[in-house]
């Protein structure tokens, strides 16, 4: 029969104290139960671990070998218990985070950077996952949480609004809209624009709606898969693009960002499971709640 951790603790105490009485006091036991545990351990292993002497006990050669390994086993057991409790408390673990599009320009690194500083024991793994694929990845356990914009409602998943970001206009440097004054949505009538894919709901829907409310249909010169692609077309000088304000953090040569007036902001949200969330994700959601209440993101 293999010894359990309590037997090993008793053995280590006797080995380190060299005396049954002192070891019993250290373990908060009386001597007879401790003596029985040691004898049972020797019987189970079929090995004599101690030499009994008038002044106490000393280890045999097999006992010395067991002492080295017993200490290691107890240390590993203590580490495993501590880690398990820390993971359960959301103090350690890992998070699989999906992001897409312009959320990585400011919001995602700001939020996750703050979370990582507050929870250094949690390893955050980032992966670019298109918004349309995030729901399935969450259901399959490939992601714990996704960050994006304009999520549709999904069964078993929660859309959590985190912030509303102002929109801006990316224009070619030296072009007609390159100046200090803000640009109004009405000023874009007849101006070649870059638009985005229209998987619903989408940023493209919002842009089309803003133009429609201003009384015109946009002149679509190019379609880009994401904001970085749109900025690339702007850098070519062939069109302008409506982008989240944080896109100015992408310092692309030949592109200037101007405030855009007369339009609503675009939402920044996350998508996560409704139930069965791991402790590390619960810790992140609590952090997001605290940040939202504190007004640090907006």
Residue pointed to by tokens 């509303």: 164
Q: Given 3.90.230.10, 2.60.40.10, 3.40.50.720, 3.40.190.10, which CATH number is that of 93-164+267-294?
A: 3.40.190.10
Tens digits of pLDDT across the chain (298 residues): 788 999 999 999 999 999 999 999 999 999 999 999 999 999 999 999 999 999 999 999 999 999 999 999 999 999 888 888 887 877 788 999 999 989 999 999 999 999 999 999 999 999 999 988 999 999 999 999 999 998 989 999 999 999 999 999 999 998 887 877 889 999 999 999 999 876 657 888 899 999 999 999 999 999 998 899 999 999 999 899 999 999 999 889 999 999 999 999 999 999 999 999 999 999 999 999 998 775 544 4
Q: Where exactly does CATH 3.40.190.10 map onto the chain?
A: 93-164+267-294, 167-264
Q: CA 234 from chain center: how many Å?
A: 33
Residues 256, 172 contacting (CB under 8 angstroms): yes
What is the reported pLDDT for 294? 58
> In the structure encoding, which two tokens stand for residue 28, read together?
């908060």
CA-to-CA distance for 162 and 278, rounded, in angstroms? 20
Indicate the class that CATH gives domain 5-88.
mainly alpha
Strand order from edge to edge, sheet including 192-195: 183-184, 255-261, 167-172, 240-244, 192-195, 219-223
pTM for this predicted structure = 0.72
**Would you tell me the crossing angle of helices 31-45 and 20-27 to the nearest 10 degrees?**
110
Q: Angle at CA 297, nearest 5°, toward 294 and 298?
A: 115
The residues near 244 (Cβ < 8 Å, ≥ 6 apart) are 102, 105, 149, 165, 166, 167, 168, 227, 266
Distances 242 to 118, 168, 175, 234 between C-alpha atoms, Å: 35, 6, 15, 10
Which superfamily is assigned to 167-264 in CATH? Periplasmic binding protein-like II (3.40.190.10)
**Those residues with Cβ within 8 angstroms of residue 69's Cβ, 6 or more apart along the chain or in another chain:** none
Distance between CA atoms of residues 28 and 48, nearest Å = 24
Question: Beta strands 93-99 and 122-128: pairing type?
Answer: parallel
Cα angle for residues 81, 82, 85 (degrees, 5° grid)? 85
Cite the residue boundaries of each domain of the chain with CATH code 1.10.10.10: 5-88
């Amino acid at each position: 029969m293999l010894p359990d951790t309590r037997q090993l603790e008793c053995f280590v105490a006797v080995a380190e104290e060299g005396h049954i009485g002192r070891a019993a006091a250290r373990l908060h036991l009386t001597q007879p139960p401790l003596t029985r545990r040691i004898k049972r351990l020797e019987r189970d292993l079929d090995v004599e671990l101690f030499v009994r002497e008038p002044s106490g006990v000393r280890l045999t050669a097999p006992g010395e070998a067991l002492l080295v390994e017993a200490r290691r086993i107890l240390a590993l057991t203590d580490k495993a218990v501590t880690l398990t409790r820390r993971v359960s408390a959301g103090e350690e673990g890992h998070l699989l985070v999906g992001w897409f599009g312009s959320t990585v320009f400011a919001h995602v690194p700001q939020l996750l950077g703050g979370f990582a500083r507050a929870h250094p024991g949690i390893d955050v793994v980032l992966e670019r996952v298109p918004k349309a694929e995030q729901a399935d990845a969450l259901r399959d356990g490939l992601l714990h949480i996704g960050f994006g914009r304009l999520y549709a409602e999904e069964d078993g998943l929660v859309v959590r609004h985190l912030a509303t970001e102002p929109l801006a206009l990316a224009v070619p440097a030296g072009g007609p809209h390159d100046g200090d004054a803000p640009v109004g949505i009405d000023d874009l009538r007849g101006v070649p624009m870059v638009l985005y894919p229209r998987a619903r709901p989408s940023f493209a829907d919002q842009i089309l709606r803003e133009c429609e409310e201003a009384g015109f249909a946009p002149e679509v010169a190019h379609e880009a898969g994401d904001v970085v692609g749109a900025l690339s077309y702007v850098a070519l000088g062939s069109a302008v693009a409506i982008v989240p304000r944080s896109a100015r953090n992408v310092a692309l040569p030949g592109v200037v960002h101007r405030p855009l007036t007369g339009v609503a902001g675009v939402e920044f949200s996350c998508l996560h499971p409704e139930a069965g969330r791991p402790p590390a994700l619960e810790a992140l959601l609590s952090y997001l709640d605290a940040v939202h209440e504190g007004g640090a993101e907006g």
